[in-house]
Structure 1
């Protein structure tokens, strides 16, 4: 029988879209029984991402990739009887996850102040954009606006050029990881003290925590960091360099003089490597434009795996810049099951990300695909909450379970 790290815990996952669901998935991957609460009145937008809305809410790969290992129920929490069902579930659960605005659950009379009366041992985490209090607490945001607000989007762009900002849900992913860590800490506290607690985790503060270097630059040196592209103020060369083939690149990073000498040996020590302008890190940093051109002249003659192999043998950090398709076929990623196939009743087969943490004594696995809408209503309402078939049928008829 499998032994999972968190198999003794139950989680009620109210969240939607990305940050909250990903946090819930981390807990589910570790073995917790995570019950995702949804409603047909307002579907999780991750079920209807652009290009998928005409296919139906059961087939969206974004939803499937962030909700594996979870059970799913449909409850209209705005219905008084729906709120009571939620409270019954909270009473027998350990953790609750939500990422609505501060008004969301409070308007339904299901915020922590209420739920902790139902279950004093409850650990609840909220992941609002800007926190539960403060002048921006009710701000409406998406991932790019969060990055803009906390400051890190201002660092994204080519050196000295206009800000491009982020194009990925970077903050959602970071918030999920930070949130999982906070939940673990709260669980540890509860095991020692016996009390639950509330975790208010503003996503913009998570974002700010990832750009400590920029804050230090301002407070210590009075300078505002701007766009730098792939460059690093402690490394040169440090960039992505073109290789053979259309839009193929290799990432190269050199920090120490030993690494520099390794790169020079690897590329055959052409005359320019001995020039004064590249003699030490300070000189290389001052001549990065020319250095990038010269390194590119070498990499363009090789495919990206060849460049990586040559440089890695010389002790130089180098790796191919792989697109999604190339990652799926890379032998290393295949051996590690970085991505793998899982059967789903609506799509047949999904390709999803693997579990990145591989515990030696309590290994985790994908036990089930993302839930269909209301797939586990009968189990949760009947087995966990002890309701009869007639009671469940009545709740369905009244659209409490909907």
Structure 2
């Protein structure tokens, strides 16, 4: 892969359209000191950064966030992997040696003026660094201290490491997905990390609201496993009602019919007939089969599920006669929930993505253009921040120490010489 290849691909997407000049930001003036790495923590803090919070990402000298190196990396910069770029925009980076006394002191000074600390180290690490909640609470009682962990910060499993696929299997999520005749399948997308990040972002905002109302900070504890159990959806309560385990149904639904993948003459699409009214519209307005709409054996979801194979065969034969361009406008006119089965690349280039301006290119100070996938949050009065590409390791070290903590150039140089910090200039 060459840098020119990336620039050529990005030419297909528009430059980011700036937010209205002078519009306020939802979290302007809020400062977050971010000790997170990989996905769940950084994505949570990026949500806050998109809303206008100043997010200072604390990284290890030299290595930085290990997620920087997940492939593919930018061909001109091994520390700028695509996955890292995806969840670290709108942040500043300071490179500290947190094992040094000077590095720990700088971290405490940053936290003294912060509103939020976010961390997802292994349980006990922040305490050993002198940066645990109880020690920081004394100097900053209004601090919101958010911990994202695998199994929570207390209890018998607090020491366990956890990653997205482990949460998927242990929560029962994998057991629900795939086809009945084979083993359950994990989601390749890190759905547990992403949803945990969303939950953590919500939890932090809730704690900030509580602080405004009650004048107190607090610790926020969000666990990957807890969230993964939630992500099994209503299947958990179905099991508690019936005692039955959810079964794998592939692309069909255990609750509705016909719901699944069908094939037009030129490609696959999905229909979700979530209720009998949708089924009636599908048969009368799209398929021109009022006889099936009126058939008593298809009148209820239970009846249609019992006859799923014969109903799918009827629909499959009919759909195969015409291309998607024939079926899509008819189903849209009949308000049938449906959509093409797309690859990721097709989705990024789809009319829907273009209409919502989901994919754009933003300027990078060293690498020309880099891709950006927009936040799904849309505010009418306080639009989210314009995207700034994820920072280099220690890109803002000097700026933060000078402008936020008042360090002199001589002191910054001495700290760099001692190895307590690293600056972009040194890199």
TM-score class, shorter-chain normalisation, is over 0.9
Figure out how many residues of one structure are paired with residues of the other and give that number: 400
**Would the alpha carbon gap of residues 138 and 305 (structure 1) be closer, same or farther in structure 2, given more than 3 Å must change?**
farther
* Cα distance, 1:53 vs structure 2: 8.8
Task: Tell whether 2:289 aligns with 1:269.
Answer: yes
**Would the alpha carbon gap of residues 361 and 199 (structure 1) be closer, same or farther in structure 2, given more than 3 Å must change?**
same
8 Å contact 2:32–2:53 — kept in the other structure? Answer: yes
Task: Tell whether 2:96 aligns with 1:75.
Answer: yes
8 Å contact 2:62–2:393 — kept in the other structure? Answer: no
In structure 2, list runs of 5 or more residues that go unmatched. Answer: 1-21, 423-427
1:300 match: 320
8 Å contact 1:305–1:319 — kept in the other structure? Answer: no
Among 248, 251, 276, the alignment partner of 1:257 is 276
Among 330, 346, 349, the alignment partner of 2:350 is 330
**Would the alpha carbon gap of residues 330 and 80 (structure 1) be closer, same or farther in structure 2, given more than 3 Å must change?**
same
* Cα distance, 1:323 vs structure 2: 1.9
SS at the partner of 2:262? strand
In structure 1, list runs of 5 or more residues that go unmatched. Answer: none
Among 237, 249, 257, the alignment partner of 1:228 is 249
* Cα distance, 1:226 vs structure 2: 2.5
**Distance in 2 between residues matched to 1:30 and 1:235, nearest whole Å:** 38
- Greater relative CO (CA pairs within 8 A, separation 6+): 2
Structure 2 length normalisation: TM-score?
A: 0.88
* Cα distance, 1:212 vs structure 2: 4.4
**Would the alpha carbon gap of residues 339 and 53 (structure 1) be closer, same or farther in structure 2, given more than 3 Å must change?**
closer
8 Å contact 1:48–1:56 — kept in the other structure? Answer: no
Among 374, 377, 392, the alignment partner of 1:357 is 377
Among 301, 305, 310, the alignment partner of 1:285 is 305
TM-superposition CA deviations, 1:24-44 (whole Å, max 9, x none): 110001010111111135432
**Would the alpha carbon gap of residues 40 and 249 (structure 1) be closer, same or farther in structure 2, given more than 3 Å must change?**
farther
* Cα distance, 1:321 vs structure 2: 2.2
**Would the alpha carbon gap of residues 116 and 252 (structure 1) be closer, same or farther in structure 2, given more than 3 Å must change?**
same
Among 343, 349, 368, the alignment partner of 2:363 is 343
**Distance in 2 between residues matched to 1:82 and 1:302, nearest whole Å:** 66
SS at the partner of 2:220? strand
Alignment of 1:1-400 (within 5 A): 1-52=22-73, 56-159=77-180, 161-245=182-266, 248-265=267-284, 266-269=286-289, 277-400=297-420
8 Å contact 1:59–1:347 — kept in the other structure? Answer: no
* Cα distance, 1:367 vs structure 2: 4.0
Structure 1 length normalisation: TM-score?
A: 0.93
**Would the alpha carbon gap of residues 269 and 72 (structure 1) be closer, same or farther in structure 2, given more than 3 Å must change?**
same
SS at the partner of 2:406? coil
- CA RMSD of superposed structures (Å): 2.0
**Distance in 1 between residues matched to 2:130 and 2:324, nearest whole Å:** 56
**Distance in 2 between residues matched to 1:138 and 1:299, nearest whole Å:** 54
**Distance in 2 between residues matched to 1:212 and 1:356, nearest whole Å:** 21
TM-superposition CA deviations, 1:64-87 (whole Å, max 9, x none): 111111111111111111010000
* Cα distance, 1:305 vs structure 2: 4.9
**Would the alpha carbon gap of residues 228 and 392 (structure 1) be closer, same or farther in structure 2, given more than 3 Å must change?**
same
8 Å contact 2:46–2:87 — kept in the other structure? Answer: yes
8 Å contact 2:72–2:81 — kept in the other structure? Answer: no
* Cα distance, 1:302 vs structure 2: 3.9
8 Å contact 1:143–1:168 — kept in the other structure? Answer: no
